[in-house]
Structures are given as C-alpha cells and as structure tokens.
Structure 1
Amino acid sequence: MIDAKDKMRVVILTPSKRLLDLSGVSELYFPSEHGALGVLPGHAPMVTAVGTGVVLYSQNDVSGFFKVAGGVAEITGNAVNLLVDVGEEAATIDLDRAKRSLERAEGRLAAKELGNVDVKRAEGSKARALARIEVVNLHTNKHAKDKKSS
C-alpha cells in the first residue's frame, strides 16, 4: 500500500488561472527546456524552465493531461509547482482549431524562403499546435480505453 508520504501535490498556475491543484499524485511528466522530465515523490529539489508540450499526471490510476508552454517548475520533494505562461486542460482544447493552427504554421514555414516570415514565431506556433493535438489524442485515447474496460 502506498501511503501519503509517497504522493505529491501538483499545482499548475498561469498568470490568470489556477489550472490544477491536486494532492495524491504518484507521478508527473512535463516538458522542460532540455526534454521531458519525470517526477516521482521524493524527487530532489530543483528549479527548471518549462518547455512547450504535454503535462501528464497520475493519481490513483487515473491520468490527466494538459498542454503547457513556457514558464518555470519548482520541485520540492513532494510538491511540484508549474508556473506556466500558457496552459490548457485536454478537455478544453478544440482539436479542429489546433489542426488549422498547425496547417497555418507549416504553411508559413514552407514559405520562409519568400522572406518576410518570422521563422522562430512560426516554429513556436507549430510546437504549440502539435502539443495541443497530442494532448487531445492522449485524453481521447485514455477515455476510449477506460470505457472498454468498464
């Protein structure tokens, strides 16, 4: 049996909203500037930059998904605070809109030889759109799998 000291509290905050404040989390994965970072209870304290991508957490065999972009993460043993520039819960993301955003970003990148394209901005848009699509797909597949096992 896993007791409370083997769990974490996870908070995800944007400048305008608290997206998540959850105790009892057994594992957390989030994008750092240097790749995906996994955190388990008792993780060494650290502060790191948050990248663009998917946040996955597990609590009592239930998983949750968020898309985040930018910010900072603070890990203190059994607590993780993600202070992110932008964050969205999987259930709130419009998949069609994310796909259109990806198409626009890829179109701008394909036209970069024509000159007046901000490549860094287009690459950022593409990364955010891909993260949104991935989060929705993970969320959708998780719910489909849960329904099959019910």
Structure 2
Amino acid sequence: MVEAKGNMRVVILTPYKRLLDLSGVTELYLPIENGIIGVLPGHAPMVSAVGTGVVVYTQNNVSGFFKVAGGVAEITGASVTLLVDVGEDASQIDVERAKSSLERAENRLIAKASEHIDIKRAEASKLRAIARLEAAELHMGKNSQDKKSL
C-alpha cells in the first residue's frame, strides 16, 4: 500500500495477533533501547530494538497510545512495523491491575537483600507496569480533553 505524501502506515504485531494496522499516520514516537525515537513520514530507513514504554501515534490530529515491551522496529520512509514481544492498547489497560503489578515488583526489589530474588526480572516487571500506567494515563487524559472540546 502506497501512502499519501506526508503520511505513514503503522503496524504493531505480537507473536499472537495484529494490534494495529493504521494508514494516514503523521507522526510516531516509540521506545528504543536507549530512549525514545520520533518518526515522521520520509524518515531514513532503519531497524532498531524496541524498548519497554509507550508508543504514541497521531492520525488526523488525534493521538493513540500502546504499551510495548521488547521486539524490533523496521522503519522506512512510508511505514513503521513494530514486531513486539508484548503490546497492549492503552484503552484496554486495567489500571488497578497495573498498579498491583508495580507494587509487587517494587516489593520484590526492596526484599532483594533478604530473599533470593531475580533482580533483572523484577526490574523488567517494574518497567512494564510503569509503561502500562503511563499509556493508560495518556489515553485517559486524551479522552478527557476530547470530551472538553465537545
């Protein structure tokens, strides 16, 4: 599919399902291993490891949000494909469950001296929980702004 000038196609896939396949995207921000990268139509081709965090995209001046963790991103001038280990639409995130996950991870990290804790696993769990909460917060903030503009 050829995109109109100034637009991109964004696809987010997990091993189990296609989470997003959207044309007409004008900008995208995604987490990579050492930070966040912004992608606009016409971006130089590249491949990058995907980090844990929030994907933010804009289509028709409306933003959308996904929580992702791990995987690879392929960027061309006309498309971005994210093959991620884990992904979740921000609108589907259970905030209370994410808060509980964050609390469990933090408690495991606090208890690391007294118990045999896999620290890297607990830190990764904490990062995923934080990303879920950030994505949900961005989504809820967007919805309250949409309602104010009506």
What is the TM-score normalised by the length of structure 1? 0.97
Pairwise CA RMSD of aligned residues? Answer: 0.9
Aligned match of 1:141 = 141
1:1-150 aligned within 5 A: 4-150=4-150
CA drift at 1:59? 0.2
| Equivalent-residue separation in structure 2 for 1:142 and 1:115 (angstroms) | 41
Moved over 3 A (4+): none
Query: Any gaps of 5 or more consecutive residues in structure 1?
Result: none
Q: How big is the shift at 1:113? A: 0.8
Q: What letter is aligned with 1:27? A: E
The alpha-carbon deviation at position 38 of structure 1 amounts to 0.4
Gaps of 5+ in 2: none
CA shift, 1:64, in A, is 0.4
How far 1:4 moved relative to its partner? 1.7
Provide the secondary structure at the position in 2 that maps to 1:111. helix
Amino acid at match of 2:35: G
CA deviation profile, 1:93-121 (whole Å, cap 9, x unmatched): 10000000000000000011114010000
**1-structure distance, mates of 2:126, 2:137:** 16
Q: Distance in 2 between matches of 1:147 and 1:76?
A: 35
SS at match of 2:116: coil
Mapped partners of 1:111, 1:128: distance in 2? 19
How far apart in 1 are the matches of 2:76 and 2:133? 31
Q: Secondary structure at the match of 1:44?
A: coil
Question: Structure 2: which amino acid aligns with 1:49?
Answer: A
Distance in 2 separating the partners of 1:59 and 1:114: 49
TM-score normalised by structure 2 residue count: 0.97
The amino acid that maps onto 2:113 is E
